Structure 1
Amino acid sequence: MTRYIAPMPPQLRQQMRANQDPARAVPCPHCHAPARRPCVLRKSGRHLPEPHPQRTSAWAQQTACCPACQVEPTIPCHDEGRARNTVHARRLQEAEATA
């Protein structure tokens, strides 16, 4: 059986990219999904509709300054000198506002 596959029109491809979560721009530190690919469940391999919270934090850290602790992009957030595992909520809001 021969299957014919038509190329995707450029307008549709752009629309699909626009609908993706901006956090997909960075690899996921939790499930190790590469950039621009959806997060997956480790055991089943099922694709998730939303990125892991760790990926969202990594994206915000890469793209925005933090108004709470005054650090520049790529530098992790901290609380009075103590490192945080996630970014401050205000940094996430900054990143979403620029996306």
Structure 2
Amino acid sequence: MTTRQPSAPMPDSLRHVLRAKQHPARSVACPHCGAAEHRPCIVRTRNRVLTQPHPQRVSAWAQTVACCPQCQVTPTVPCHDEGRARLTVHSRRYEEAESTAA
């Protein structure tokens, strides 16, 4: 009887290519519903799986991967308006993140 050898771990770059059908924001955890990385967002009161990620998750993803051309901040730094931190990112940062993911 032969034993099966464990396969090599999949590199993250290849994993993201194979998950191309999913929104790229699923690569970060959702701050709204607490869904883990690469897991879909859910509505906890109804225990329902959502087809699209929460807006807070998309904002967190854009903040993680893209620089903001409007307020000139680097990735992982929140956007700001005249020194006051924003809860979401600028729309131009979303565009920058989507072009980076494509």
Q: TM-score over 0.5 for the alignment?
A: yes
The 3-state SS of whatever aligns with 2:46 is: coil
Distance apart, 1:15 and its partner CA:
7.7
Which consecutive residues of structure 2, in runs of 5 or more, have no partner in the other structure?
1-14
1:46 aligns with 2:45: no
Residues 81 and 14 of structure 1, relative CA distance in 2, 3 Å threshold: closer
What is residue 23 of structure 2 aligned with on the other side? 21
What is residue 4 of structure 1 aligned with on the other side? none
Give the % identical residues: 66
Distance in 2 (CA, whole Å) between partners of 1:96 and 1:15 is 15
- The two structures have a TM-score, normalised by structure 2, of 0.81
The number of residues matched between the two structures is 87
Which consecutive residues of structure 1, in runs of 5 or more, have no partner in the other structure?
1-12
What is residue 3 of structure 1 aligned with on the other side? none
The 3-state SS of whatever aligns with 1:67 is: coil
1:77 aligns with 2:79: yes
- The two structures have a TM-score, normalised by structure 1, of 0.84
CA RMSD of aligned residues (A): 1.6
Distance apart, 1:19 and its partner CA:
0.4
Distance in 2 (CA, whole Å) between partners of 1:43 and 1:15 is 33
- The superposition leaves residues 17-38 of structure 1 with CA deviations (integer Å, 9 ceiling, x where unpaired) of 1100000000000000000000
Residues 14 and 76 of structure 1, relative CA distance in 2, 3 Å threshold: closer
Distance in 2 (CA, whole Å) between partners of 1:14 and 1:94 is 18
The 3-state SS of whatever aligns with 1:18 is: coil
